[in-house]
Amino acid sequence: MKVQFIPDSLETSVFMPFVIILLYILGVIPFTAYISEELVKFIANQKKATRIVLINAIILTPILVASLMYYNEYKEKGLVEAMDYESDEFEGLMVMGLDIRTTQKEHADEIMEFLSRYNVKRCETVNGTLS
């Protein structure tokens, strides 16, 4: 079961970008400024050695998280995992170019069982060529 916070009619609405911008201006940006101010006050009250450790942690944490996310995205993984197939949410399967279509879950599970034997690695394209 999917939880849908925003109705489809609002997602395609012309006003949705304005609502998102307004939420950022009224909520996210002031909250971030408040947290930053409190963090600066907290660090200013610490000893010099502790201050250096805290500043390094603040700088290195986003770099570490981004690196791990990038590594996870480009590591070798099972084909079915890369396709993000959910058996419970199956509606239909169509293979482009081979004219294969099915709405039967058993057929899709059989194909996914076959594909699960293969591992893939995401490749990055640079100017239309794989790198």
The model's pLDDT over 97-128, given as tens digits with 9 standing for 90+, comes to 777 788 888 888 888 888 888 888 877 766 65
Domain assignment of residue 9, yes or no: no
Domain count, the chain: 2
57 and 92 in a single domain? The answer is no
Spatial separation of the C-alpha atoms in residues 122 and 129, rounded to whole Å: 13
The confidence band for 67, taking pLDDT boundaries of 50, 70 and 90, is very high
Helix axes 48-74, 29-44, angle to 10 degrees: 140
39 and 61 in a single domain? The answer is yes
87 and 61 in a single domain? The answer is no
98 and 58 in a single domain? The answer is no
pLDDT > 90 fraction of the chain, expressed in percent and rounded: 23
Domain assignment of residue 81, yes or no: yes
Cα 63 to Cα 33, 57, 59: the distances in Å are 21, 10, 7
- Whether 58 and 50 have beta carbons less than 8 Å apart is answered as no
Domain assignment of residue 8, yes or no: no
> CB neighbours of 75 closer than 8 A, spacing ≥ 6?
121
35, 59, 74 - which closes a domain: 74
Domain of residue 51, residue span: 14-74
Domain assignment of residue 103, yes or no: yes
Domain assignment of residue 7, yes or no: no
Instruction: Tell me the pTM.
Output: 0.50
